[in-house]
């Protein structure tokens, strides 16, 4: 095991429970309680936080874990970009100061949020685990099986009918078509990840069947490093309406939030999202 360098604060527990990640499993190694999960098509990584100021990973995984969990970022610098004198955001940060925005593999993140539409976290996790077990590559760590997220071709080959058996419902069609589009090269996720213009990147993602503005923004924020992306769901719309007195809808509300919260609006979204789900 090795220590992973980071600038406090960081809460592994809050980050794993913040609605970004759905497949990490508890795993104790050498008497240290932690979590394990596959990142992309690699074997399982392991991370533990025995105390607030310490993060551990397996040797050779520290750089992967550090990037994936956003530990290569300075929260102090991010907070300096937020609007001043915002008591709501300040309260949200105080409630969950250690949340980080993860940097997931693009396909894994996009496909997961395609399957998340109108689902609660517990259901999204169940679907993710089912898809991994049926179509993903299996790996082992400490005698346990962990499954990588299936690649686009796996879903394209499976087709809508088979995917419906994974409790996807109408989302099965979207996942199958997205897999086909990416596997065939019609949609280039590497180019989208490298795109510096968030408007262009969002538009490219929305060419996929079943990908609207909210799912596209989740992919931009949680995988493409577009920290200004601001996904809006019912929780965020509620807090913007009730605490910021915003009656805007759709694209207008999106534009206001990204402008108001600034270049790291996505971080503000995560604080507000977790705060709203746990306290409202």
**Does the structural domain 106-222 have CATH classification 3.20.20.80?**
no
The fold adopted by the segment(s) 75-94+227-280 is Endonuclease Iii, domain 2 (1.10.1670)
Residue 146 to residue 41: CA distance in whole angstroms: 11
Give the pair of three-digit tokens for residue 152. 């686009």
pLDDT at 280: 64
Residue 197 to residue 37: CA distance in whole angstroms: 31
Consecutive 10-residue averages of pLDDT for the chain (280 residues): 93 92 94 94 91 94 95 95 93 93 95 81 88 94 95 94 90 94 94 92 93 93 94 87 80 88 94 81
Per DSSP, the residues of 219-255 read: HHHHTS--TT-----HHHHHHHHHHS-----HHHHHH
Instruction: Identify the burial level of 97 via C-beta atoms within 10 angstroms of its C-beta, where 0-12 means exposed, 13-18 middle and 19 or more buried.
Output: middle
How does pLDDT run across 207-226, given as a tens digit for each residue? 999 899 999 999 999 999 99
pTM of the model: 0.90
Distant-in-sequence, close-in-space partners of 168: CB < 8 Å, separation ≥ 6: 115, 127, 175
Terminal CA-CA length for the chain: 40
Q: How many CA atoms lie within 13 A of 103 on its CB side?
A: 16
pLDDT at 118: 58
Domain boundaries, the chain: 2-73, 75-94+227-280, 106-222
């Amino acid at each position: 095991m090795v220590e992973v360098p980071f600038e406090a604060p960081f809460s592994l527990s809050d980050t794993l429970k913040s609605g970004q990640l759905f497949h990490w499993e508890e795993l104790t190694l050498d008497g240290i309680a932690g979590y394990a999960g596959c990142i992309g098509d690699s074997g399982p990584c392991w991370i533990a936080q025995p105390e607030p100021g310490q993060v551990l990973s397996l040797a050779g995984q520290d750089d992967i874990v550090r990037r994936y969990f956003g530990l290569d970022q300075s929260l102090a610098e991010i907070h300096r970009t937020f609007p001043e004198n915002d008591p709501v955001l300040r309260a949200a940060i105080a409630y969950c100061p250690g949340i980080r925005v993860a940097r997931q593999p693009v396909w894994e993140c996009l496909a997961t949020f395609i399957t998340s539409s109108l689902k609660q976290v517990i259901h999204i996790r169940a679907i993710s685990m089912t898809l991994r077990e049926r179509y993903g590559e299996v790996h082992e760590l400490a005698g346990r099986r962990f499954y990588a997220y299936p690649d686009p071709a796996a879903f394209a080959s499976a087709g809508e009918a088979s995917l419906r058996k994974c409790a996807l419902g109408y989302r099965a069609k979207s996942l199958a078509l997205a897999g086909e589009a990416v596997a065939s090269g019609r949609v280039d996720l590497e180019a989208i990840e490298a795109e510096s213009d968030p408007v262009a990147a969002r538009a490219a993602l929305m060419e996929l069947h079943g990908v609207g503005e909210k799912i596209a923004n989740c992919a931009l924020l949680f995988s493409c490093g577009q920290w200004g992306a601001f996904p809006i769901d019912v929780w965020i719309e509620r807090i913007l309406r009730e605490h910021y007195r915003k009656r805007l809808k759709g694209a207008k509300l999106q534009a206001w939030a990204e402008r108001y919260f600034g270049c790291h609006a996505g971080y503000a979204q995560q604080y507000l999202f977790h705060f709203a789900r746990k306290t409202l």
